[in-house]
Chain A
Amino acid sequence: MTAFLQTLIFGLGTGAVISVGAVGLSLSYGVTRFINFSYGELLTLGAYLAFVAVSLGLSLPVASLLAMVVVGLIGVVLARLLFDPILHRGFLSLLVTSVGLAFVLQNAVRMIFGSSPTRFPLPPLRPWRIGALIVPKVPVLVIVIAALAMACVHLLLRYTRMGKMMRATSDDAALAKASGIVTGRVLATTWFLSAAIAALGGVLLGMTQIALQPVMGWGFLLVVFAAVLLGGIGNPYGAMLGALIVGLGIEFGAAYLAPDYGHAFAFLLLVLVLLLRPKGLLRGSF
């Protein structure tokens, strides 16, 4: 029972990290309709910038917020320079550009920070002990932070004017524009939010993986894609649900079937769901 509860906690924790990454990707896809392969590098940037900010004396929460803002702005600048001018050129141009940007960002991180792993600035935390049950603190912390972040995203999308405009643009960009929505502003806000959430995802990933490496975001991207596809591409709520399922699949698969194939079970789940519901669990829009 203890082992089951621990695996459940870790599964929720893993799902929480994935959900933050997946929501950001879903937000940008929902509005722009293209999958940004450089998204993983924004996770990496977020983790490294938080590390730098802590090295300069800031606390981790403040450093994380700062990293989110900075990466958000970087996301907007990169999108304005590289993606917005070619949005009309079709899927392939955007895809190749995003892959190229991913390599540039990854190597920029490698050039600045080196290839050797760097420790994420989170002190080791002993678990809580509740009777015979050992409850690790880091995944609980990650779950709480991710839940707060998802709540903020929900409040933004449901109750703010910008959120409504984002939903309208996601549903039908042409109609939204004809209705007077400044889609350029919506796009910029979406890029900012997507990148900022990615940065938060990077911080949470750093908390769970400990060692920061230039390839950490790229390696995590596949799992994020799985969650996004499972939940229904372009739907942030679907991404949250998909992330939870993927996270639990990874941890339970590793704990009860084979430790080396946790990711394989998650993708098996993805394939099974897509066979039954090709568009994912939820409809692909906000």
Chain B
Amino acid sequence: MKRIVMLLLALVSGLVMAQGTISIGLLLPFTGQYDWVGANVQPVAQMIADDANASGGIGGAQIRLLQGDTEGTVDAGFTAAQKLINADGVVALIGPTSLSLAGSQQLIVDAKVPMVSPTAGTTALDSFNTQYVFRTVPSDSLGGRAVARAATDAQFLGRDSAFKKVVLMVANAPAMVSFQAPIEKSMTDFGTPLLDSFQFTPDKPSYRTEVQQALALDPDLIVLVATPEDSARVMQAAFQAGYEGTWFVTQDQTTSDYIALATPQLVDGIYGLEEVAAPESAGLYDAFAAQLKAFDGKEPQIFGTNTYDAMNVVLLAMVRAARDGGEITRATVAANIRPVTDAGEGKVVVHEYMAGKAALLAGKEIDYQGLVGPIDFDAFGNITAPFAIKRVVDGAWQTVAIVPAAALE
């Protein structure tokens, strides 16, 4: 009897505590090879949550962030999603990444939990769901098109001529394979069909055979989509085999860490793709960077701007759901995401949480425009955004050109 009473008391106190908090799940890798993704996202998300809590929370409740470690794998992603959705009862998710999406996407949709991913560029989400799936990172369809656009247009390369003999090498992993079809199609669309396009097994100790396959066609550019470790091995093998052409890599490699891993000698002059803040958001980005530096002591890293927008979208949707005494539930959050991001007559344009909250509580409607771009979700929750084409010069990545979203149509 005593045990039952204690159990009931614990349950009630848990419920009392839960009523004062709104849980948002961070469904991301916090351990394993991709732990840097979680490490980049967490401080930005926490900074915005703290701001919201400091201003009185939302609907009288405090925002609480809960981690669900996907470890960058499908299986662990499923388990982590189950924990956040069923055990922790989160009302929204930030994440997941493309790496673990296959394990959790159906679970998320079946549980009707709105997810706003700042990291998942996989084309699997291009037309997956119209109600609960959103992302503040452009699809790899656009990223692949940006690579092809730059490779075939000298104005984006900072050189006299574009590349004519291009080979595509793609690691056979969920986050990478997504780029293959868009690049293949876009290269043809832009008038320079690929000489060859093939996948290779990731995490091999040597890629000599694969490099030989690529070099047999005498390319002047190899587009390489792989992890940093595999990319370094491929480039090393090609260097040792005498390749003197250029490389084009994707966001995972457009970092100073990659230059250190592969050595400046190997990567000098290579091109890289990076999602960037919209040029019109330059001033906003500086303010965000300063705020994050003060909060966490670090500059924004990859996915920092995407996370900023994702968290603002979710929190502003909650504010809209809660005004006039409404409840904050999974359904109401999902239903209010588009109303706070879609453009419209008479809407107040806002760029951050506090301004958006003030406008909403004053009875106005808002159009959140973020660091990444306008954050106008299409029917399937996708956005468009510009890309930077970067090049390694004197041991550091430098921006050569910006490919605007309009150039990718």
- Do A137 and B212 contact each other (CB < 8 Å), given the known contacts A117-B261, A119-B260, A209-B206? no
List A residues 184-229 near B (Cβ within 8 Å).
Answer: 208-211, 213, 219-220
Q: Decide: B265 and A124 in contact? CB cutoff 8 A.
A: yes
Tell whether, in the assembled complex, residue A115 and residue B242 are in contact, meaning their CB atoms are under 8 Å apart: no
Are B233 and A123 within 8 A (Cβ)?
Answer: no
Number of A-B contacts (CB under 8 A): 74
CA distance A55 to B232 in the complex (A): 20
CB-defined contacts of A115 to chain B, threshold 8 Å: 32-33, 35
Among residues of A, the one whose C-beta sits closest to the C-beta of B207 is: A259
Q: Which residues of B contact A127 (CB under 8 A)?
A: 240-242
Chain A CB within 10 Å — which of B206, B260, B262 has the most? Answer: B206
Complex Cα spacing A265 to B32, Å? 30
With an 8 A cutoff between CB atoms, is B210 at the interface? yes
Complex alpha-carbon distance, A6 and B233, angstroms: 18
Would you give the 0/1 interface string for B9-51, flagging 1 where the beta carbon is closer than 8 Å to chain A? 0000000000000000000000011011000000000000000
Question: How far is it, in angstroms, between the C-alpha of A125 and the C-alpha of B241 when the chains are bound?
Answer: 9
CA distance A8 to B243 in the complex (A): 20
| Count of chain A residues with a beta carbon within 8 Å of a chain B beta carbon | 32
Question: Secondary structure of the B side of the interface?
Answer: helix
Nearest opposing residue in chain B for A250, CB measure: B206
Is A254 engaged at the interface, CB distance under 8 Å to the other chain?
A: yes
Residue pair B263, A124 in contact (C-beta under 8 Å)? yes
**In this assembly, does A87 line the interface, its C-beta being within 8 Å of a C-beta of chain B?**
no
Are A210 and B209 touching (Cβ within 8 A)? no
Encode contact with B along A120-140: 1 for CB under 8 Å, 0 otherwise. Answer: 000111110100001011100
Contact A137 B206 (CB under 8 A): no
Name A's B-contacting residues (CB within 8 A): 3, 6, 10, 14, 115-119, 123-127, 129, 134, 136-138, 208-211, 213, 219-220, 251, 254-255, 259-260, 262
A-B contact pairs, 20 of them (CB 8 A): A10-B208, A14-B206, A115-B35, A116-B257, A117-B228, A117-B261, A119-B263, A124-B240, A124-B263, A124-B266, A127-B240, A129-B242, A136-B240, A208-B205, A210-B232, A210-B236, A211-B229, A255-B212, A259-B201, A260-B204
Footprint of A on B, CB under 8 Å? 32-33, 35-36, 200-201, 204-206, 208-210, 212-213, 228-229, 232-233, 236, 239-242, 257, 260-263, 265-266
